[in-house]
Structure 1
Amino acid sequence: MKRRATIFALPAVLAIAACEQKPAGEPVVRTELDESGPDQAEEVVDAEALPEASTEPQRASVCIAVAFEGTQLTHCIADPETHTIRTVLAPGGGQPFGSLAALADATASKTIAFAVTGGAFGDDLRALGYYVEEGERLSELDRGEGDGNFYMKPNGVFFGSGEDWRVLSTGRFFATVRDRPQFGTQSGPMLVTGGELHPDFEDDGASRTLRNGVGIDAEGHAHFVISDEPVSFGKIARFYRDEIGTKEALLLASGNSALWDPATGRLDEGRAGPILVVENKP
């Protein structure tokens, strides 16, 4: 799958100077040419009197490039103290956006930290299984049987309200969650459940494609990981269990995984149904 503007950035912002600047306080010599003769007049100007270049800080990305067992991944962290999370599918309840590029075209990026493909969908790009947007349930929880990644049991739900974000297997969600969250999306399979890898995963199986997932750590941070090259279920699950230490982690997408990171200009191509948007709090 093609990537568009695949720029990977560390949290620190790299500033590139367009030209070499004089040390602060050192006089600057301004030379003016007199068209009437060869003589030149030099004017010495105090550097402090010159207009200063804009020092407005650039936005820092919360996504970092990492390598795990020889595979390149991008790891984005949402902090409930500084971020909010919401689901989006279709503008004004109409046709789904269908891609992160369409969302970017229709959305001011000033407050957006990043966005990722965020759940299973059908041929019409609408959510399969449980889907809640702004507190409204648009699709019911799916506890049935079927083919494909979504039905690799246990599958699960990523959901939350305010600063409380959670990942639960579908069975536990059905048995324990009574209040409707502000956002929710169902997908599958679970990558990690109770600190254990999905029982059907091989260590590094032959099924490899671009994949992304989400997991919650002990401090309540949401960790979004997307592979930048094909990865197996087992490897991305081990990253969640062994490197991040999440007890519960859910696969969000396979094959159509994509990331929009406005701070770096990264905007991946690919089809999207439900989209998870992480925004900076005011």
Structure 2
Amino acid sequence: MKHILALALLIGWVANLASAESCRTEAYQGNSFSTCEVDLNVDTLGLFLYAPDGTPYGYFNTLNTALGAQDKKLGFAMNAGMYHDDRAPVGYYLENGTEYQSVISSDGPGNFGLLPNGVLCLRKGRADVFETMRFLTESPDCTSATQSGPMLVINGKLHPRFLKDGTSRYVRNGVGTSADGKRAVFVISNGVINFHDFAVYFRDQLNLPNALYFDGNVSRLRAPELGRNDLGFSPLGPIIGVVSEK
């Protein structure tokens, strides 16, 4: 019996090593958040938009089925940047070395154009949020990347346009990364929230120096740990998620 118990514990330990992602529900300053932490020392993050036939995956389940054909599976996942009606990305989008949209550095309408905006850059063993102009200056060698906006936190400071008493309130989602690129934290609010309070959560509670807004209102999350797999009423554009072997 002891040997069986030890084997079960070992199997559980190995399974945890295979995927260190963890999701939780957390309250902070009167708001509730679903927060998923990804350890880039262990986890593999991927960006996904188009299936091999050129159609957008659109839904977490569709993507998971496609990965299953490759003996892989999708863990945590989230929509990852703004998109047009045809699901094409609004800003820079790079997937496994293929560029689908170039970087947009000019201001413009909507949240994306509320400068400064930023880019989430995925490289082997790390993930980093860059303010867009810094991204252009440093030209990091990303494997995959997605641009969105506005930035939530820039080098430890909130976006200068955010108002503490801002009246624009939506369900919002975004990502923050640590200075060493080994910790990426993805967050969706469980209720409507303004930009200021959403950004404060990343800076003050999660202690992340840089964070990027993905979207609002259409925000969706797949978090098996939380029993959550948001479907929504329409397909998504870019999707980010943790991929592991079956």
Shorter-chain TM-score above 0.5: yes
1:214 pairs, out of 168, 175, 178, with 175
Match of 1:278 in 2: 242
Match of 1:190 in 2: 151
Q: CA deviation at 1:70?
A: 1.3
1:118 pairs, out of 74, 77, 80, with 80
- 1:73 paired to 2:37: no
Match of 2:44 in 1: 84
Please report the TM-score for the alignment, with normalisation by the length of structure 2.
0.85
Match of 1:146 in 2: 108
CA distance in 1, matches of 2:201, 2:35: 10
CA distance in 2, matches of 1:198, 1:281: 38
Percentage of identical aligned residues = 35
Match of 1:269 in 2: 231
Please provide the CA RMSD for this pair. Answer: 2.6
- 1:166 paired to 2:123: no
Could you give the per-residue CA deviations for residues 12-57 of structure 1, whole angstroms, max 9, x where no partner exists?
Answer: xxxxxxxxxxxx9xxxxxxxxxxxxxxxxxxxxxxxxxxx9xx675
Larger Rg: 1
Letter in 1 for 2:161: D
CA distance in 2, matches of 1:139, 1:93: 19
Could you give the per-residue CA deviations for residues 198-218 of structure 1, whole angstroms, max 9, x where no partner exists?
Answer: 111111421111111111124
Task: Specify the SS of the correspondent of 1:91.
Answer: coil
Which runs of 5 or more structure 2 residues have no equivalent in the other structure?
none
Task: Specify the SS of the correspondent of 2:222.
Answer: strand
Conserved? CA contact 2:23–2:225, under 8 Å: no
Say if 1:203 and 1:268 are closer, same or farther in 2 by CA, change over 3 A: same
Task: Specify the SS of the correspondent of 1:277.
Answer: strand
Q: Which has the higher helix share?
A: 2
Letter in 2 for 1:128: V
CA distance in 2, matches of 1:150, 1:187: 6
Letter in 2 for 1:260: R
- 1:156 paired to 2:118: yes
Conserved? CA contact 1:82–1:281, under 8 Å: no
Could you give the per-residue CA deviations for residues 55-87 of structure 1, whole angstroms, max 9, x where no partner exists?
Answer: 675977610000111111011011011101111
Conserved? CA contact 2:80–2:239, under 8 Å: yes
Tell me how many residue pairs correspond in the alignment: 232
Could you give the per-residue CA deviations for residues 136-155 of structure 1, whole angstroms, max 9, x where no partner exists?
Answer: 11110011232111100000
Q: CA deviation at 1:101?
A: 3.8
Task: Specify the SS of the correspondent of 2:153.
Answer: strand
Question: Which 4+ residue blocks in structure 1 deviate beyond 4 angstroms?
Answer: 55-61
- 1:64 paired to 2:27: no
Match of 1:35 in 2: none
Structure 1, 75-84 or 271-280: larger mean CA deviation: 271-280
Match of 1:229 in 2: 191
Conserved? CA contact 1:100–1:258, under 8 Å: no
CA distance in 1, matches of 2:53, 2:240: 16
Task: Specify the SS of the correspondent of 2:213.
Answer: strand
Please report the TM-score for the alignment, with normalisation by the length of structure 1.
0.75
Match of 1:205 in 2: 166
Conserved? CA contact 1:204–1:233, under 8 Å: no
Say if 1:244 and 1:193 are closer, same or farther in 2 by CA, change over 3 A: same
Give runs of aligned pairs for residues 225-264 of structure 1, distance below 5 A: 225-264=187-226
Which runs of 5 or more structure 1 residues have no equivalent in the other structure?
1-23, 25-51
